[in-house]
Amino acid sequence: MPLVPPPPLPGWLQAAMPLRRGAYELSTGPDAGRHLHFVDEGEAKGDEPTVVMLHGNPTWSFLWRKVIHALPRRRCVAPDLLGLGLSSKPTRIADHSVDRHADAITELLDALGLDRVVLVGQDWGGALLPSIGARRPDRVAGVVLANTSVLVPQRPRGTAFHRFARLPVISDLVFRGLGLPQSALWAVQGDRSLLTGTAARAYRWPLRRRGDRIAPLALARMVPDGPDHPSVPALRRGEQWIRGFTGPMALVWGTADPILGRALARHERAFPRAPVTVTGAGHFLQEQVPKALAAAIEDVLERAEPRPPA
């Protein structure tokens, strides 16, 4: 298995994120040779599933540190999407697509031998989750969705933020030149004080170089703005899979999220069997309500059926 040493962290960031880390060199497809950085903390016991935590734009595995600490008895794997965190950073907008991100994460899970997982996704991590699940449906023991969208509207438009990301010249200047949105994550939080100081610095650190800031803009443009958007076919295939998923599921939402807070209602309608935990957190609810997320993950793990005998 082509595991490679993870990139080093500065002392202040290592202290804020004292978790076991690794990196994997992709070996297939157009991203072969690029590296995926990941956190791999804890040990799975027997046949219990590994918890796979998927972040979104523009964060990285640091986002999950509090949730991982709240799950001391579980094995938790949290990869960094290509272009974000400590993973390799492709240099073109065209290097980012739903299928390429899903293929890369799936290859990592295969390489780590994770044959039974609970998938947990927030923001783009949640939107990618069904595409990953559809690639390995027999391995998914449960699903937890948190402030995300796995449902494709008939007439997708995106938010004002996503429409701004498509403006020529100015969006490139703001995203790549000024470092948005990672420099202003506090703006979508319920408790803004949680994204100041060391935490705010940690989210900016992997994207501190201007040349590494392609992914936040690319992922913003990956949000569909119409039925013919390139992301739509892959997202619809994923939606078909998750609508048919019969295993345990849970929803955890922060209603102070100005981006996806209102998306809860349509997910409740789509997944009526899923218990719902409603909180006053903002978009990055991992920072504000990690124990609520951990409790939902534990509930899904407990409801996951044992693997049928061979």
DSSP state, residue 179: -
Q: How far apart are CA 222 and CA 213, in angstroms?
A: 15
d(CA 279, CA 282): 9
End-to-end CA distance of the chain: 26
Q: How many angstroms separate the Cα of 155 from the Cα of each of 126, 144, 169, 225, 228?
A: 20, 26, 26, 8, 10
- Alpha-carbon distance of 28 to 37, in angstroms, equals 16
For residue 211, the tally of other CB atoms under 10 A from its CB is 9
**Amino acid letter, residue 202:** A
- Alpha-carbon span 299 to 302, nearest angstrom: 5
Q: Shortest CA distance to 53 belongs to which of 185, 134, 145, 147?
A: 145
Count of CB atoms within 10 A of residue 54's CB?
A: 27
Q: Phi, psi (5° rounding) for residue 214?
A: -70, -40
39 phi and psi angles, rounded to 5 deg: -95, 135
Residues labelled catalytic: 123, 257, 283
Cβ atoms of 255 and 280 within 8 Å: the answer is yes
Backbone angles phi, psi at 55, to 5 degrees: -90, 180
